[in-house]
Amino acid sequence: MNIDKLKSYIIFVAVFFSWVSFASANLEISNIMYDPEGADTNREWVELYNNGNESITIVSGKSGSAWRLGDGPTGETLHYINDTLTIAPGESAILASDKDTYLSEYSYSGEVADTSMSLNNTSGIVTIWDGSDPRNVIVSKSYSSSDTGESEEVASGDENNTNDAKDDLEPTQDNSTILKITTKIISPKIVVARTPFSFNSLTTTNRGQTYATGKWVWNFGDGMTSQVIETGPFAYVYEYPGEYALTLSYFDNSFTLVPDATDKIIIKVIESEVYISAVGDNGDPFVEIENQSKYEVDLSGWIVTAGTHYFKIPEGTILLPDKKIKLSPKITGFTSFDLASIVITNPNKFVIATYPVQIKQFKVDKIDTNGTTPESDKVYINNKASENSPSDDSEIINLNDLGASASGAKVNISKTVYSLVGLLLIIGLGVTSFLLIKKKNNTPDYVEKQIRAEDMTIIE
């Protein structure tokens, strides 16, 4: 597609939507029959009036382009419109609970469409939704018996009378109020590292609408983003402890660059401090789990594997701070033979605790130039210990920077190596000299062997 064609397409779309907005803005609800005489609810109806200069077509059916009628306390209950209506400028049309019943009672000459509405007899809101977007409210009108009197007096079924009487039912809310969209993050504020947690969002408007489609852009604050076109719930895993800003941007139109609503919360990610604190015996093979942190821990979906059996902790199980829970064998099905080896994993299959070998934390202090260890330089690693409880500060060793530790010990290591090499060199030279001397003494005198007795002459 070249630039000229693209410009033409953009202009066409802009003109089209501006025309739709212009036409839609001239549709109003002129009358509401919400409490007819008798118990027959099929006699309710709503009158629409076109006060503009262009015809308005309301598309019927159940397709994506079909229009809807909403009713209820906030106008959120949608109903299909079973007949297509075209309302000329200055004309009106009727949306009836039952088309045949309406036509049998009123001598109405305009168009009538059948719906399935059932209005509240005292108060509510009637809303017309544009079929081009099921969340786009074209017009809405509230009604209340305390404000308007008897609804039967509002409309007689005659077209002229209904148009004259539309001022008798003024809306209690200002239809000119600008649509305001808000979105809210629904998520726990404290989660465990490497453990999935569930989150969602709620997007609403000042007109009582709840949006289920659109574009939601999530930023988890750890370098990860996600874009979805519908609400959750969803699951996410933070790999490392810390505090992260979880933000959400909602776009009513996927083509816009500026979000219609935003929200932000702070997620605190903690390390798990859940341990197997005790196990039972032959008479009562229970498993006791302890939370040694100062935060609640959601154990939903965690797996306790003991021997050849496993038990899935039910959804909604919360382990309170500094508290313990005992899993009864009547619930888990564990036997005393299973207690020889126990492993607890989270839904992400990450090992949280083991028995009798418990993952334990040690730390090594980073040594700086002045011999002190900054608290910010402490880091933890996993190691194994035979105890079934976490280590205390006296057992902590810091392995934050092995390179720095090695450089700090460089002088002592070098002296030791030099002394050892020197000693080995001296010993080597001594052994070599000894071997050379010994070899020289044992060398046969080949010249001496070549002299015979007859070759010798005695000289006086």
**Is 194 in the same domain as 259?**
yes
- The residue out of 168, 199, 216 marking a domain boundary is 168
Six-digit token string for 351: 């090992």
The total number of structural domains that make up the chain = 4
Six-digit token string for 361: 């934390």
**Is 228 in the same domain as 280?**
no
Which range, of 122-131, 135-144, 385-394, averages the lowest pLDDT? 385-394
Is the pLDDT at 360 greater than 80, yes or no? no
**Is 281 in the same domain as 371?**
yes
CATH number at 199 reads 2.60.40.10
Is the pLDDT at 1 greater than 60, yes or no? no
Note the pLDDT tens digit of each residue in 397-438. Answer: 332 333 333 344 343 445 566 677 777 888 888 778 777 776
Cβ burial 398-436 (10 Å sphere, 16+ → b, else e)? bbbbeeeeeeeeeeeeeeeeeeeeeeeeeeeeeeeeeee
Confidence of residue 382 (pLDDT cuts 50, 70, 90): very low
**Is 22 in the same domain as 139?**
yes
Q: What is the pLDDT of residue 413?
A: 46
Q: What is the CA radius of gyration of the chain?
A: 43
**Is 335 in the same domain as 210?**
no
Distance CA 367, CA 108 (A): 93
Identity of residue 185 = I
**Is 18 in the same domain as 141?**
yes
Note the pLDDT tens digit of each residue in 212-224. Answer: 888 999 999 999 9
User: Residue 77 is part of which domain span?
Assistant: 3-168
Note the pLDDT tens digit of each residue in 227-284. Answer: 998 888 999 999 999 999 999 999 988 788 899 999 999 999 999 999 999 999 999 9
Q: Which of 143, 129, 10 is nearest to 72 (CA)?
A: 143
**Is 294 in the same domain as 354?**
yes
**Domain assignment of residue 453, yes or no:** no
Is the pLDDT at 32 greater than 60, yes or no? yes
Q: Which of 78, 77, 83 is nearest to 98 (CA)?
A: 83
**Domain assignment of residue 176, yes or no:** no
Strand 92-96, strand 111-114: pairing: parallel
Residue 36, SS3 per DSSP: coil
DSSP 341-390: SEEEE-TT--EEEEESSEEEEEE-PPP-TTS---GGG--EEEEEESSSS-
**Contact in structure between 45 and 95 (CB atoms under 8 Å):** yes
Which residue blocks in 150-207 are alpha helix, DSSP H? 159-164
Residue 422, SS3 per DSSP: helix
